[in-house]
A and B are shown apart, each in its own frame.
Chain A
Amino acid sequence: MKISREEVLRVAQLAHLELAPEEVETYRGQLDEILAYIGKLQELDVSGVDPMTQMRPQTSGGPQQGSSTAARAEAATTAGTEPELRDDVVVPCNVAQAVLAEAPDAAKPFFRVPKVIER
C-alpha cells in the first residue's frame, strides 16, 4: 500500500479540501493505484540528469549524459527562446472596479472575509 487513510487526510488538509467520510476511502484506493503505477519511475537511473525546470529546447545527447549549463544556454540562445525581460516601466492598471465586481463579497475597495484576527 502506497498511501494510508491518515496520509489522505493530511494531504486534504494541506490542499484545503474538506472530504466527506466516504470520499476518504475512495480517494485512498484511487491514489494508491495511481501511485503504484507512477512507481515505475523508480526503474530509471536518473543520476547525472538535470531536472527539466525550463520549457526550452533540450540539447540532444546520450541518456545519462547531463548537459552543461553553458551548452543549454547556448542552445536556448541559438533557438532564440531565452525569455525576454521587458523594461521595468510603470503602466496604468485601472482594473480595481472590474475586479471587485466579480468578488463574492466586496466592501469596496476591499474583499471581505470572515474575521481572522481575534482581539
Chain B
Amino acid sequence: MTTAPTWTIGSVRDALLAKKTSARELAKDFYAQIERRNPEINAFLALCPERAYAQADRVDAAIAKGQPLGSLAGVPVAIKDVISTEGVRTTCGSKILENYTPPYDATAIERLKNAGAVILGKTNCDEFAMGSSNENSAYGAVRNPAALDRVPGGSSGGSAAAVAAGLSVVALGTDTGGSIRQPGAYCGVPALMPTYGRVSRYGLIAFASSLDRIGPFATNIADVATVMSVIAGHDSNDSTSAAIDVPDYAAELEKSLDGMRIGVPEDYFGAGLDPELKAKIEAGIALLEKLGCKRVPLKMPHTDYAIATYYIVATAEASSNLARYDGVRYGLRVQGNTLMDMYRRTRERGFGPEVKRRIMLGTYALSSGYYDAYYLRAQKVRALIARDFANAFEIVDAIITPTAPTPAFKLGEKTADPLEMYLADIYTVTGSLAGVPGISVPCGQTAGGLPIGMQIFASHFGEGRILQLARAFERAGGFSI
C-alpha cells in the first residue's frame, strides 16, 4: 500500500532553513521514491531531472547566501501534462502530441518557478483532459494509491495520485467539468478549482476554453492557499484572466466560522448518491454546524440538467479547439496524398476513442440544422444553472455538496458505457458551468477504506472563504470524520 506523504510546503521550508537537507537532496529523494512507486501507479509520464536539479541548485545557492526565498523554494511539484513546460515533453496524454516539446512555460509554471518550486515532471491524465477515470490516457491508466485496483479519477488522475502517494508535495491539475475535484475526492486529497479567470490559462493546452481552469492539489489546506497565492492573478497574455487583486489567502485560514451560512442543496442528495457517502457528508455538514455555521436548505432546480448542458458546451468548444491538430505545425503527421488525406489520417491515428467521440458530438451540436436545438439551448440552460448559483449566494456564503456520487470505481468498470462515465461528474459540472470556485476536501472513508470527498462552492472570487471553511474543517478533524 501507500507510504503516507510526509512533506508539506512548511516542513520543506523549515528543513531547508535548518540545513537538515538541501533542495537538491530533497529532489533526489523524491526521484528515488518515484522510481520505486511509479511503475505501479503510473502517475508520471515524463520526468525532468535536469531542469529540477538546476532549479534546486539555485534555491540552495540562495540559502547559502542568506538571500530571501520564494514561498515555494525547493518544494517538489508535479504538473499535469496539459500545461506547457519549456523544454519538457508535453503530450496531453495523447499520441498526437507524443513528441511535442513546448518552446515556452505556461504563466502558472513561470510563477511557480519564480517562487522557487522544483518541477519534478509531468503527470498522466485522460487524453486532452477528457475523462473521469484517467483510463482515456494513451499511456495507460493511473492506479489509485488508496486502492490499486481502482481508478484515481480524472482527468487530473496523475496529479492527484502523485500527491496522495507522496511522490510530490503539491501538484497542478486542470478542471473543466470536475477534473481537479473528482480525482481529489477519489484519492483523498484537497483539490481546488479556482474561479474562472483567477488563474491565467496562458500555456494551458485548450480543451473547452470557457470552462478550463488550472488549480492545485495538496495534502493540507495551508499548502493549497500557498500555491494559490503564487499562481493567481491577472496576466496580460490571457484576456479572460481577471484584473482583481489576489487576497492574502493565508490570512483567511484561521478565521472563525461563526455565523457563516452554508447552503445544502437537496438536488445534490438524491437517489444517485451512495448512502454511505451521504451519511459522511451529512456528518461533515454537522461538524461545520458545530463550528458555528448555520445550515440553510437550498433548491438549485437546474442541477439535473448540468451534465446534458456540459456535454454540449464542452464538446462544441473541444471540436473547435482540437481542429488545430492536423499534422502541419506540431505533433504527429501521417502522410497522405492530399492535404485532406494527411489531416484525416493524422487525426485518425493520433486521437483516441473518447476524444473522437467528443469531437464528433461537438461538431454535430454546432452543425447546420442542429445549432439552435443543441448548442444555443445549452448556452441558455447554462445561464439558468449560473443563476441557480447567483440566487443561492444571495442567501448563503457557501454551498456544501458531495464531490462525486460514488467512491473510486474499479478500473475497467465504466469504460464500455461513455454516458455512465459522464455521470461521475454530476455534482462538479454545475460549478464549472457557472464559473464559481469549488474545492473537494477529504471527508472520511467508506467501510472499505475508500476516500470520500466533500465539495465546497463559493461565489466568484470567493477562494478565501472556501479555504477558511476547508481549514476549519481540517483543524476539527473533518478529513478523517
Contacts and interface: CB of A to CB of B under 8 A. Distances in A.
Interface string A1-42: 001000110111011111110010001001101110111111
Given A46-B381, A114-B341, 6 more contacts: A14-B363, A15-B359, A16-B323, A17-B347, A50-B383, A63-B302
Nearest to B345: A18
Interface in B439-481: 459-461
B378 interface: yes
Given A27-B356, A50-B380, A99 B242 contact: no
Contacts of B419: 30, 33-34, 37
A86 interface: yes
B115 interface: no
A39 B309 CA distance: 10
Interface string A81-117: 1011110000000010011011111000001011110
> Which of A20, A33, A55, A95 is packed against the most chain B CB atoms within 10 Å?
A55
B299 to A, nearest CB: 11
B384 A46 contact: yes
Interface string B289-323: 00000000000011011011101100000010001
Contact of B361 (A34, A83, A111): A34
Contacts of B301: 63
A30 B460 contact: no
Contact-size category for B: 35 or more
Interface stretch (B145-153, B174-182, B259-267, B328-336): B328-336
Q: Main SS of chain B's interface residues?
A: helix
B434 A11 contact: no
A38 B308 contact: yes
B271 to A, nearest CB: 16
B465 to A, nearest CB: 15
Given A86-B236, A104-B330, A81 B103 contact: no
Interface in A52-94: 52-53, 55-61, 63, 79-81, 83-86
A84 B244 CA distance: 11
A55 B243 contact: no
Given A53-B379, A79-B460, A83-B240, A17 B360 contact: yes
B382 A11 contact: no
Interface stretch (B65-73, B278-286, B385-393): B385-393
15 contacts: A16-B343, A17-B344, A27-B357, A30-B357, A41-B308, A52-B383, A53-B379, A55-B196, A63-B384, A102-B101, A102-B103, A103-B330, A114-B338, A114-B341, A116-B339
Contacts of B459: 57
Which 10 A-B pairs rank lowest in CB-CB distance, beginning with the nearest?
Answer: A51-B379, A98-B103, A104-B333, A60-B390, A58-B386, A52-B383, A18-B344, A46-B380, A18-B348, A15-B363
A55 B343 CA distance: 32
A114 B327 CA distance: 11
A91 to B, nearest CB: 10
Given A57-B460, A63-B301, A95-B103, A16 B340 contact: yes
Contact of A49 (B236, B309, B374, B380): B380
